[in-house]
Amino acid sequence: MMNKMVAPSLLSADFANLSKDIEMINESDADWFHLDIMDGVFVPNISFGIPVVEAVNKLAKKPLDVHLMIIQPEKYINTFKAAGADLLNVHYEACTHLHRTIEEIQNAGMKAGVTLNPHTPVNLLEDIIDLLDLVLIMSVNPGFGGQSFIENTYSKIEKLRNLIEKKNSKALIEVDGGVSTANSAQLYQAGADVLVSGSFIFKSDNPKNTIAQLKK
């Protein structure tokens, strides 16, 4: 039986009133906080950095799922651990020595995830999938919230689910970008365990209720 987990992305939260949105997530059915770190180099946008992760960690009562959209993520493993990250996602496309980076994340005491851009095939994970705690499939090109969902994500999830079973891996499948109640059921059905959602939650009239809807 698959998990059905939701990780609201703070990228679409109200940064002038972040504590209110953190409190809402604490009280909701959400499972994790999703934090998007963008460096303006790996992706064409800059979001927020380590002091914000530390601040969220002071109030958050659920694990912090940190999505690093940065070059050379291996330089910051211990820094994000100290800031409060529970799960650290690095991009496949940003890691020259992915095996080493995954081991360093786990040795630092965090769960390790690998994120795939929409153009990156899941079979590139064949020789590392058994080590991973999670694979994050991007269903938009990373860098911005509020983009349209890319439809071939379903077949990527199915291919990844087959690879995970073939290799007897424990990795969870997370999906990020353009997630809403229009596609959540189909994503879970295709094999996703965790759905990230930003703009759909925070632009809705009742974000707490929207989180509950996404878990159904």
Ligand X SMILES: O=C(CO)[C@H](O)[C@H](O)COP(=O)(O)O
Is 21 a catalytic site residue?
no
Under 8 Å between Cβ of 149 and 111: no
177 near ligand X, rule: CB under 6 A:
yes
Question: Is residue 205 among the annotated active site residues?
Answer: no
Verify binding: residue 199, ligand X, rule CB under 6 A.
yes
- We find the least distance from the C-beta atom of residue 1 to ligand X, in angstroms, to be 25
From the list ligand X, Fe ion, none, partner contacted by residue 197 (C-beta under 5 to 8 A by kind): ligand X
Does 140 sit near ligand X (CB under 6 A)?
A: yes
Q: Which of residues 76-135 bind ligand X (CB under 6 A)?
A: none
User: Per rule CB under 6 A, is residue 11 in the interface with ligand X?
Assistant: yes
Q: How far apart are CA 177 and CA 196, in angstroms?
A: 7
**Interface with Fe ion, residue 36, by CB under 5 A:** yes
* Least distance between ligand X and beta carbon 165 (Å): 26
Q: Is 146 flagged in the annotation as binding?
A: yes
184 binds ligand X (CB under 6 A): no
Question: Taking the CB of residue 177, how many other CB atoms lie within 10 A of it?
Answer: 25
**Is the Cβ of residue 1 or residue 114 nearer to Fe ion in the bound state?**
114
Binding interface with ligand X (CB under 6 A): 9, 11-12, 34, 36, 67, 140, 142-147, 176-179, 196-200
Residues of the binding site: 9, 34, 36, 67, 143-146, 176-178, 198-199
Q: Which residues bind Fe ion (CB under 5 A)?
A: 36, 67, 176
Q: Active-site positions?
A: 36, 176
